[in-house]
Amino acid sequence: MSDLVCYYRSGCHLCEELAALLHERWPAQAERVEWRDVDRRDEWREAYGQLVPVLLAGKQTICRLAPDPGRLAEYFSGLVNPL
């Protein structure tokens, strides 16, 4: 199990933006993410269904409701690709 978990919903444009941002700027970290569709389990839908995308590191919320490049950069502390 990964220490990074992203709760998303299929067809959610904000979820797609978060995934693209992670893969573009932090590809090594993106490979560590366990992707969970909130509609696959009732408990996930209840906890995160109205907040997607939600990216967690353990119990710490990195971002929710929308991609937050600043918060992601802060969390991944300088792992930004120089491109």
Q: State how far the Cα of 31 lies from the Cα of 50, in Å rounded to an integer.
A: 25
Q: Is the pTM of this model over 0.75?
A: yes
Residue 80 is predicted with a pLDDT of 42
- Mean pLDDT across the chain, nearest whole number? 90
5 neighbors 46 (Cβ within 8 angstroms):
no
Q: Could you name the CATH architecture of 4-75?
A: 3-Layer(aba) Sandwich (3.40)
**What pLDDT digit, counting tens, does each position of 4-37 carry?**
999 999 999 999 999 999 999 999 999 999 999 9
Domain ranges of the chain: 4-75
Binning pLDDT at 50, 70 and 90, where does residue 2 land?
low
Q: Which helix (H) or strand (E) holds 38?
A: none
